[in-house]
Every structure is written in structure tokens, then in C-alpha cells.
Amino acid sequence: MHAEAIDKDKIPAHVAIIMDGNGRWAKSKGFMTRIKGHENGVEALRNATTACAELGVKYLTVYAFSTENWSRPKMEVNALMRLLVGALSNELDTLMKNNIRLQAIGELASLPNDCFRQLHDVIDVTKNNTHMTLTLALSYSSKTEIISAVKSIAKEVEAGTLSADAIDEKVFASHLYTKDMPDPDLLIRTSGEYRISNYLLWQIAYAELHFTNKLWPDFTKEDLYLAIVDYQHRERRFGKTGEQLKVN
């Protein structure tokens, strides 16, 4: 699939990716540890990021580490955190060159201190970049995000600054980590798994879903183009009939 096949007038504003299959990739290549898969996943992320920026995608949000991933063997968790620190400093150039702002969502306070610091450094250095926003979901759980939104709304009601009747979708969304972003238009999951794994449950209410068997380290720019062309062939009806869409 080439970039020319893409309709430049129908680029999704927000693409979300569940980057899955690093461990299986390492195993299939005969590596002794799953870590090699994560290492090679960094390059796939760089390719997907620059491809999205070139196409004019405004938001790319990637699932890098779930809350549930903390229960993996300590060695793997440590390696992932080390890799994150390294990638953040190595990729700063790419982010600056492409005018990309970095953000992170999740329970960031659970990250090891050096990761947390490094992450905030890169967020700070890139904060005025305007071409695209890359958001890392780190120590992320959508259910936790929703509960924390509910708690902060409840506190406002308790304090008398918000009436219960005023709670609507807009108010609720404004309490999520993703409050400053539009909802994803397209969600991609690699590695042949057909599940959401606690990712952006509220936000993907009307996202188009694209699943591919490719393992994340093998995911190329062409695979991204394929996902976008697939998305462009969908009819997004938002509850209406196909006929209604043709009239408007």
C-alpha cells in the first residue's frame, strides 16, 4: 500500500494504536528474551509517528504500557522502563524536527523516578510544537481513568460547584486524561488479537476498528497506510441511515 492511495481530504484527525505482539515477535526470531521485541518496537513507533505526521494526522495516541502490565515479570518491567528512558532521549530530535508535541496519559506517578523525570523533560521541551500531538498511554487503565473522572465530578458536586443535573457527556469528557483531544477516529491493534485491553473505552465509542495480524515490530508505514485506506472506505453513520448521509 502506497501513500498515494490515501485520500488527503479524509485523513483521520486522531489515530490510536494498541502496539501488541513484541514478545511473540522476539520468540519468532529466536531471541532468548521478549525484550528484543520491545527494543524493535521502538523503531516501529518512530515509523508510525513520522508517517502520521507526514499525512497530517493531528493526534496519535499509543498504548505503551498498561496498568495490568505491572504484573509482568520484574525483569521485563524494568527493561521496559529502561527502554522508555532511552527512547525518550533518543527520539527527542525526531520530535523536534517533525514539530511534534509529546504528552502522556495514565497513572504517571507510578513510573520510576528517572522515567517520570525524563518524560516530563521531553513533554516540556516539545510543549510548543504544533504539527502533531503524540500521546503515550503509560501505566494506563481506562477503567481507572473513568473512576478518577467520576471521583473528581463527585467532589465538585459535593463542594456545590457543579449540580448533578448539569453532568452530561461534555462535562464527563472534560474530566478524562484526554480532555484536550478529540476522540479517536481510528483504532489499530496489531498481533491478531481482537480485544481492547482496557484502552480508551469511553473515547472509542465511535472509532473505526482496524485489526492486523502483523506483530508490532513488523508494523511498517505501508501497514499504517493500509489501515488508513481501510478507514477511508468505512461509512461512519453515527446511528443514521446510509441514505441520510447521502442527502447531507
Q: Which residues form the interface with Mg ion (CB under 5 A)?
A: 20
Among 7, 9, 22, 69, the active-site one is 69
Q: Look at residue 69 and give the partner it binds from ligand IPE, Mg ion, none, a contact being a CB closer than 5 to 8 Å depending on partner kind.
A: ligand IPE
3 state DSSP class of 198: coil
DSSP string, 6-44: S-GGG--SEEEEE---HHHHHHHTT-SSTHHHHHHHHHH
Would residue 198 show up in a list of annotated catalytic residues for this protein? Answer: no
Would residue 20 show up in a list of annotated catalytic residues for this protein? Answer: yes
Query: Which residues of the shown chain bind ligand IPE in the complex (CB under 6 A)?
Result: 18-24, 34, 63-66, 69, 80, 191, 193, 195, 197, 216
Residue 130, C-beta contacts closer than 8 angstroms, at least 6 positions apart: 99, 101
Q: Which is nearer to ligand IPE, 143 or 155 (CB)?
A: 143
* Cβ proximity of 186 and 16 under 8 Å: yes
Q: Look at residue 226 and give the partner it binds from Mg ion, ligand IPE, none, a contact being a CB closer than 5 to 8 Å depending on partner kind.
A: none
Q: How far is the CB of 46 from ligand IPE (least distance, A)?
A: 15
Q: Look at residue 175 and give the partner it binds from Mg ion, ligand IPE, none, a contact being a CB closer than 5 to 8 Å depending on partner kind.
A: none
Distance from chain centroid for Cα 240: 28
Q: How far is the CB of 219 from ligand IPE (least distance, A)?
A: 11
Give the C-alpha separation, 111 to 119, whole Å. 10
DSSP string, 166-192: G--HHHHHTTSTTTTSPPPSEEEE-TT
- Nearest residue to ligand IPE, scored by beta-carbon proximity: 23
The residues carrying an active-site annotation are 20, 69
